[in-house]
Amino acid sequence: MPRNGVAWVCASGFRVWIEGLRGGTAVRCPYCRHADSRVVDSREADDGQLIRRRRSCSECGKRFTTVEEAVLAVVKRSGVTEPFSRTKIMSGVRKACQGRPVDEDSIALLAQRVEETVRARGAAEIPSHEVGLAILVPLRDLDQVAYLRFASVYKSFDSLDQFEKEIAALREGAMTRENPTRHAVAPRSGRSSKINN
């Protein structure tokens, strides 16, 4: 796909190109290739991530649908960019959850949360390590064993000490969530904590 255009797939399955993102855009009709069409109807889809537009070609009169989506690119460590893929997130999380009591719906929901998190940053490109960070927090809440598996690969653990530190952090986090007052600051001595009626 050229960098100065955006590809759309219309409802009939044709690929439609929007040419020249600056100075106006033209959507070519998939039937006659004419560059002029008018929007008949617009609707949001996929929780606002997509916009579906029903268009009518001013040349041949046929109607077609375009789907507009902001493309989010992931920049890998090598510098290569690739489109963000929710499917790829699910695949990695599924491997970490193998043999664990985690259902497919929970994995899909986690992948959706990750996508929402990275899209909320508003950047067109995001480093791959930030995608990994966005996976860690919801995965820890979902299943701690799966989290440890994923973190060991993501953080490149190469010793038992690293595993032990991560397990200790998990335990500390679990204790804090179970007993939040445990880490509360005690009142200074000499001051009464009683409330007078």
33-52 tens-digit pLDDT: 998 889 999 998 876 677 88
Euclidean distance between CA atoms 15 and 49, whole angstroms: 19
Orientation of helix 104-119 relative to helix 86-96, angle to 10°: 130
Name the token pair of 117: 């998190």
Do strands 125-127 and 73-75 pair parallel, antiparallel, or not at all (unpaired)?
Answer: parallel
| Termini Cα distance of the chain | 74
56-77 tens-digit pLDDT: 999 999 999 888 877 889 999 8
Please give the pLDDT value at position 124. 86
The CB density around residue 116, as the number of other CB atoms within 10 Å, is: 12
153-197 tens-digit pLDDT: 888 888 889 889 988 888 887 666 666 554 444 444 444 444 444
Strand order in the sheet with 81-83: 81-83, 73-75, 125-127
Burial 78-113 (b: 16+ CB within 10 A, else e): eeeeeebeeeebbebbeebbeeeebeeeebbebbbb
Pair 96, 150: CB distance under 8 Å: yes
106-161 tens-digit pLDDT: 999 999 999 999 988 888 899 999 999 999 999 999 999 999 999 998 888 888 89
Amino acid at 153: V
Per-domain boundaries in the chain: 5-69, 73-178
- For residue 74, CA distances in Å to 125, 134, 152, 163, 177 come to 6, 13, 21, 28, 33
- Of the CA atoms within 13 Å of residue 187, those in its CB half-sphere come to 6
Q: What is the DSSP letter of 156?
A: T
